[in-house]
Amino acid sequence: MNALLVDDSRLARTELRRLLQAFPEVVVVGEARHAAEARQQIEQLRPALLFLDIHMPGETGFQLLASLEAAPHVIFTTAYDEYAVRAFEVNALDYLLKPISEARLTVALDKARAQLLAPAPAPSIIPDEAAATPLSAQDQVFVKDGERCWFVRLADIKLFEINGSYTQIYFEQHRPLIPRTLQHLEARLDPKIFFRANRQQIINLKWIENIEPWFSNTLKIKLRAGPEVEVSRKQSVLFRELLSL
């Protein structure tokens, strides 16, 4: 398993390297001190595994992941425990608190090994995805989350966001979860209205309140009465191409 270590602390990287020597199947192919350096090395080295700190100068570890089109498997390494829930929302394999013990590292690497060595599932077609038809912004869709149901216009939905193995929908004050992938939703939504901002979010362009330049030539978008969304580098370029005069 080729691994990249991302941490602004040289001592932390050195200690993690030392711990990883006990696992001959892990090859450390590089180190990075901050997100910009990590992004460059990820593109060049294509590591299968990322040991990622959260608090770094400039961009955080979460911001780095949001900017990537395709991310390696991630194991967070941090001194702070308050980000654990958010870490698993971005599908991290594990969350290791510093100082890292060899026992916890073993558990994390077992998870990584299981993911990387698992056989690829046979391709299958889900009937409702095969029959999916495009929807316009004025179409109404049925949404069910537990015992609650809504019939909502797509135009009123400001954001679709990955939340674990579900997608969360933002409209009015509601945040229901539906068992659909962003890929499935993107195929059905009108691309003139809905834009894939990054790996985890699709935004409704009609709900944009303001836009500002962000790290590494990316964009940050504020939605009306909603959250801020960081657009990945590739999608920031596409956004400018599609919507500039």
CATH number of 127-243: 2.40.50.1020
Same fold, 2-117 and 127-243: no
* CA angle (142 as vertex; 239, 229 as ends), nearest 5: 25
Residue 143: both structure tokens together = 């949404």
List pLDDT tens digits, range 56-74: 998 899 888 888 777 889 9
Using CA atoms in the order 38, 41, 43, 49, what is the torsion angle rounded to 10 degrees? -80
Phi and psi, residue 90, nearest 5°:
-100, 20
Q: How far is CA 84 from CA 170, 177, 205, 245, in A?
A: 23, 20, 31, 42
List pLDDT tens digits, range 124-147: 444 444 445 688 888 888 888 888
Residue 52 near residue 76 (C-beta atoms within 8 A): yes
Residue 108 near residue 96 (C-beta atoms within 8 A): yes
List pLDDT tens digits, range 39-55: 999 999 999 999 999 99
Phi and psi, residue 68, nearest 5°:
-90, 140
Q: In the chain, what are the domain boundaries?
A: 2-117, 127-243
- Superfamily of structural domain 2-117: Response regulator (3.40.50.2300)
List pLDDT tens digits, range 92-120: 889 999 999 999 999 999 989 888 876 55
Question: Does this model's pTM top 0.85?
Answer: no
